[in-house]
Structure 1
């Protein structure tokens, strides 16, 4: 009976490990630091000093389909129009962290 129980537990452990996707932890504290150094010049308090309507507020992010980690990381990485690309200046982790920070702040209305 104990052997059967051990076998079942071993199989469950293997299945759990095999089918669990790795999680990339984001660090919004790091995202805050990255944002203050690289983004706040144009996006202070979630605004946009270059193009007012293209700000980082929840409504604008949704309007321009930028309300996901994937969309924000893409534009931070590759840039678009007046937005500079940061793929050569930031690591992938820093980009993920700042994207998470932007979404978190948009939810809080940048308060």
Structure 2
């Protein structure tokens, strides 16, 4: 029993350290804005959506469609769906994090 407890504590420690290192990545909102401008603005100019006008990037709409979190936006950018292409193969992890942070920050500040 003591062995299992030690094993659990070891795995938990490694898991915690891994999670912390992934969150330690610095976010660059300016880089995210540039990526958005270069790759997303054609369909999402001003936070709108030219493909599906009901699914804008406004915070209340993101909330309505459960896309009002960093992880949800990052998933959408990476995997696409609903007419949006996937960018997971085009952008690095850092670029995806930057653009997801930019979108969420802009929506939360009602800056579209």
Larger Rg: 1
**d(CA) in 1 for partners of 2:102 and 2:31?**
9
Q: Deviations over 1:5-47 (max 9, x none)?
A: xxxxxxxxxxxxx969221111101000000001000000100
Q: Deviations over 1:70-102 (max 9, x none)?
A: 101111101112010001111111000000000
The 8 Å contact of residues 57 and 110 in structure 1, kept in 2 or not, is answered as: no
**d(CA) in 2 for partners of 1:60 and 1:26?**
24
**Residue 3 of structure 2 corresponds to which residue in structure 1?**
none
**Residue 98 (structure 1) aligned with residue 92 (structure 2):** no
**d(CA) in 1 for partners of 2:27 and 2:96?**
10
TM norm structure 1: 0.79
RMSD in angstroms over aligned alpha carbons? 1.6
Runs of 4+ in structure 1 over 3 Å off:
none
The 8 Å contact of residues 79 and 85 in structure 1, kept in 2 or not, is answered as: yes
Moved more, 44-53 or 18-27: 18-27
